[in-house]
Structure 1
Amino acid sequence: MLDDDVKQVAAKLAAFIADHKGADPVILDVSETSGWADCFIIATVNSLGHLRGLARELWGYLAELGVEVLNRHKNVGSDGWELIDCNSIVIHLMSAEMRSFYALEKLWHNPAGIQEERQTIKK
């Protein structure tokens, strides 16, 4: 179960992504199944340029929120997927093709019955 601080920051980040045209942002609670993150934020971008621009804008917003980014680099999302590691929150900005192919929502769903908290952000 996500703690309230992580939930609040994740909700702000997902709303920011939606406001910047990230499609279908989802907050996925992986705290019970992952040893290295509490939640994923997954969103679809519509082009490589959109991916790069959104990642840069997001890095600025993360700095405003005081959230540390552990993996900032220059070659942003050249393969259609940018992972931004903020320790307890991991953001996945993905092309539609990457999101469909890797299906992270399905991959991190635990069929053994551990409850996952999934929240879809709507504008």
Structure 2
Amino acid sequence: MAALQVLTARPKRAARLTRNSKLFKTIISAIRQKKGENIVSLDLRKIQEAVADFFIVCEASSNVQVRAVADAIETEVKKHTGELPYHHEGYQALQWVLIDYVNIVVHIFQPETRKFYKLEEMWNDGDHIQHEA
């Protein structure tokens, strides 16, 4: 039940974002700075059930790199936009870290975990764009 309470207590999305928004570009840049790989953005704006406008998904090859990418995202976003995440989780196991900025949810996976959960397949109704690392 706690998970359901988190979803119902989640703030409503603000104005819709685009891939040109400062938040979006800052997240992609932070991932690149820490050598995150296989960066994909999923545009979920046309999916009524979606909890965010975008998912940004990437890989990091080790626990250390997952933490480095996640920390860089939070630091750079705060520095350039002043925004703090609404929620984040996964910092204990570092197999899949989720950082929720309400309109954009970032997923940082280790490769095996990404293959197992197949997040991009679950949200394949959204437009996928591969971002060069």
TM-score, scaled to structure 1 = 0.81
Q: 1:32 to 1:17 in 2, by over 3 A?
A: same
Aligned residues: 115
Name which of 31, 34, 57 aligns with 1:20. 34
Q: For residue 7 of structure 1, what is the aligned residue in structure 2?
A: 19
Q: Is the 2:34–2:65 Cα contact (8 Å) retained in structure 1?
A: no
After superposition, the CA RMSD in angstroms is 2.1
Check whether the contact 1:51–1:80 (CA below 8 A) recurs between aligned residues.
yes
- With normalisation by structure 2, the TM-score equals 0.76
Shift of 1:26: 0.6
1:40 aligned to 2:55? Answer: yes
Report the equivalent of 2:127: 117
Measure the CA separation in 2 of the matches of 1:60 and 1:78: 20
1:45-103, Cα deviation, whole Å (9 max, x unpaired): 11001111221121111101223301146x61515000000000000000001111111
Unaligned runs of 5+ in 2: 1-15
The match for 2:108 is 93
Distance 2:100 2:50 in 1: 14
- What is the letter of the counterpart of residue 71 of structure 1? H
